[in-house]
Amino acid sequence: MKITQAIKRVDSPTQLRWWQKYRNRNLVIAFLFVFPALLNFLLFRYLPIFWAARTSFYRYSFFKGFEGFVGLDHYIKIFTNDPEFINSLKVTLIFALTKVPIQVVLALALAVFAVRNIPGMGAMRAIIFIPVVTSFIVVSIVWGMMLNKDVGLVNAILQTVGLPRMEFLSSKANALPSIIMISIWKDVGYSVIVLVAAMKGISEVYYEVAMVLGANAWQQFVNVTIPMLRRALMFVIVIGTLGAFQVFIPIYQLTRGGPRDTTNVIVYYIYKKAFQFGEMDYAAALSIVLLAIMLIFSLIQMRLMRSEDVD
């Protein structure tokens, strides 16, 4: 009965509305499944970018709304007349270029250790991963206390073993390295787990062949493990770099960009402009610039990844 009805509908399409046609109705039903997700991405992922691009061409404030078109003025100011932006870009680059290599090398070393299946290793992997699931705010506050000059645990340890007390977050020279250290401590577990998973995927055969050829442990590591890990390493580097460009929480919680702007990373600078000085239009322009920089960065990295795949 149903089938004959369906055939009738297909046979006499003119009597039906567009959505009543069998094929179209199925398409509409299928589309309803995906529509809410697409709407979310349109509203909360794509629209903000267009909105920010539009805002960046106007003078705009919360209370008065849009007040006149200024063209590229904000962008011109960013690149020619904003030393704080240039400085924040520099700080962010230093942060990323220091943090990512150290983190990857450390993760690689830890992964080589943690990939073995011996008693207690499961607990070790869990311990390394705990900071990853803990909130960065809690991690920042605890480390901030431990690094305090007068009442911090780290300085108490230094003094106990006979070293002088040091300033960490309050000194111009040590603030950024301290933030880098805290971020690595928090993030390294993620890289370790990714690399361990990738190492477990390497077939034993390669190592057996290498052993037959007389390779020692280091040679096996360089000639088998590293090449086989290339994709995972690339992933860890790309994700790490993108994350490093967006560092915000430890800066917000521990240094507020200080001392003397030595930790004033770009995302924190945008936050300050937007939500403390209320310069929404300028912050929107800054966001667009940062977005462009990161897009170029990830395109370059993806190109590198692809060209390495061809090899």
Residues 208-267 that bind another protein (CB under 8 A): 231-232, 234-236, 238, 242, 245-246, 248-249, 252-253, 267
The answer to whether residue 269 forms part of the interface with another protein (CB under 8 A) is no
CB of 295 to another protein, least distance (A): 7
Work out which of 15, 36, 83, 216 binds another protein, going by CB under 8 A.
Answer: 36
Query: Is the CB of residue 177 less than 8 Å from the CB of residue 89?
Result: no
> By CB under 8 A, which span of 91-99, 167-175, 208-216, 293-301 interacts with another protein?
293-301
Q: Which residue has the tokens 């509203």?
A: 43
Work out which of 9, 125, 149, 230 binds another protein, going by CB under 8 A.
Answer: 125
* DSSP states of 20-49: GSHHHHHHHHHHHHHHHHHHHHIIIIIHHH
C-alpha dist (Å) from residue 216 to 88, 204, 228, 229: 46, 15, 17, 19
Work out which of 86, 97, 137, 222 binds another protein, going by CB under 8 A.
Answer: 137
For another protein, the binding residues in 57-116 under the rule CB under 8 A are 110, 113
Work out which of 10, 76, 127, 222 binds another protein, going by CB under 8 A.
Answer: 127
Work out which of 101, 201, 227, 278 binds another protein, going by CB under 8 A.
Answer: 201
Work out which of 57, 85, 95, 190 binds another protein, going by CB under 8 A.
Answer: 190
Q: Which is nearer to another protein, 4 or 12 (CB)?
A: 4
For another protein, the binding residues in 148-187 under the rule CB under 8 A are 151-153, 156-157, 159-160, 185
CB of 247 to another protein, least distance (A): 8
Closest CA to 265 of 39, 11, 90, 80: 90
Work out which of 57, 85, 143, 269 binds another protein, going by CB under 8 A.
Answer: 143
CB of 178 to another protein, least distance (A): 14
Give the CB-side neighbour count of residue 256, counting CA atoms within 13 A. 2
Phi, psi of 98 (to 5 degrees): -90, -45
Cα–Cα distance, 196 to 117 (Å, whole number): 11
Indicate the DSSP class of residue 221: I
- How many residues contact another protein, by CB under 8 A? 91
CB of 234 to another protein, least distance (A): 7
Work out which of 7, 19, 48, 72 binds another protein, going by CB under 8 A.
Answer: 48
CB of 15 to another protein, least distance (A): 24
Closest CA to 144 of 186, 106, 191, 101: 186
Work out which of 7, 10, 43, 304 binds another protein, going by CB under 8 A.
Answer: 43
Cα–Cα distance, 2 to 18 (Å, whole number): 20
Work out which of 1, 11, 18, 45 binds another protein, going by CB under 8 A.
Answer: 45
Cα–Cα distance, 119 to 172 (Å, whole number): 44
- For strand 65-69 and strand 58-61, is the pairing parallel, antiparallel, or unpaired? antiparallel
Sign of CA pseudo-dihedral 139, 144, 147, 150? negative
Is the omega angle on the peptide bond into residue 36 within 30 degrees of 0, that is, cis?
Answer: no
Q: Which is nearer to another protein, 12 or 37 (CB)?
A: 37
What are the beta bridge partners of residue 167?
none
